[in-house]
């Protein structure tokens, strides 16, 4: 069983959970952990081949190829969840991208892409999913990052997107409580998803050793069973080691094309 109670509801047996960015490093770990606990999954991602591979590894799951850049992506997710299971109990947003470098060296299009993928897209998606979540008295899980708490030089734009998402979560936690929907803002420390090695722009600083994605997924899944829990801060992941880079020098060496980057499984530095 994977209980996901709201503050006024009973635990849901075998809840329907949509994982956005399910094929990313952390998204896939969350998907596998929730499946192990009995959740019925709706998996989403941008890469059809990777999505099919994950779906085959998690029998009984539904899937939908969608892009957070599309304002109507949420409509597709709603249709998929409704067709497969008739409901949606939990929406997990594990999608995102990262970029490094000083603000002066960061192209406008990179800043725009960061905000579109990490902030605007998730809010578009949530708007479309709210009627289903309200009907089930469900839960929204937003994957922010430790930089929402500890913004870092050389990561100003990325830090700003995660702080913006966390600010939205704080407001939504109060706003959606009125309609019975819980919001869980999750800010894990640096996690070994591998995406920091494929940034949208720039080069990553030297990072301290990251957490195991499966362990992070376990903490998140445990938090779903705590009806009054609305936040998982970096400290809640049981690490006392520094979450900051060991060096703050982020050189903007070779800028990578935005068109070739995945929006799945953001690294949580």
* Active-site annotation, residues: 158
Residues with Cβ within 8 Å of residue 201, at least 6 apart in sequence: 99, 100, 101, 106, 107, 110, 252, 255, 256
* Six token digits for residue 178: 């009125």
Q: Report yes or no: 169 and 142 within 8 Å, Cβ to Cβ.
A: yes
**Look-up of token digits 């109060």:** 174
Helices (H), the chain: 25-36, 48-57, 73-85, 108-115, 121-136, 156-177, 213-224
H/E segment holding residue 182: strand 182-186
H/E segment holding residue 183: strand 182-186
Residues with Cβ within 8 Å of residue 159, at least 6 apart in sequence: 147, 148, 151, 152
Q: Report yes or no: 125 and 19 within 8 Å, Cβ to Cβ.
A: no
Helical axes 25-36 vs 213-224, angle rounded to 10°? 50
Beta strand 16-20 pairing with 90-93: parallel
């Amino acid at each position: 069983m994977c209980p996901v109670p709201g503050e006024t509801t009973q635990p849901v047996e075998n809840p329907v959970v949509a994982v956005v960015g399910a094929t990313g490093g952390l998204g896939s770990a969350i998907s596998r952990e929730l499946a192990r606990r009995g959740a019925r999954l709706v998996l989403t991602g941008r890469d059809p081949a990777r999505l099919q591979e994950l779906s085959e590894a998690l029998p009984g799951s539904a899937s939908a190829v969608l892009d957070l850049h599309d304002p109507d992506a949420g409509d597709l997710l709603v249709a998929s969840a409704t067709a497969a299971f008739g409901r949606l109990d939990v929406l997990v947003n594990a999608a995102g991208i990262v970029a490094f470098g000083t603000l002066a060296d960061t192209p406008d299009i990179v800043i725009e892409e960061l905000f579109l993928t990490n902030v605007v897209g998730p809010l578009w998606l949530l708007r479309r999913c709210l009627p289903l979540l309200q009907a089930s008295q469900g839960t929204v899980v937003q994957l922010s990052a430790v930089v929402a708490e500890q913004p870092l030089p050389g990561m100003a734009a990325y830090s700003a997107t995660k702080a913006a998402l966390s600010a939205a979560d704080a407001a939504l936690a109060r706003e959606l409580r009125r309609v019975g929907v819980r919001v869980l803002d999750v800010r894990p420390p640096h996690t070994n998803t591998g995406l920091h090695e494929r940034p949208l722009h720039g080069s990553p600083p030297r990072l301290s050793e990251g957490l195991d994605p499966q362990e992070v997924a376990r903490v998140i899944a445990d938090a779903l069973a705590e009806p009054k829990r609305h936040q998982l801060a970096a400290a809640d992941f049981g690490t006392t080691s520094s979450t900051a880079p060991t060096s703050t020098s982020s050189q903007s060496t070779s800028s990578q094309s935005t068109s070739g980057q995945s929006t799945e499984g953001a690294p949580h530095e």
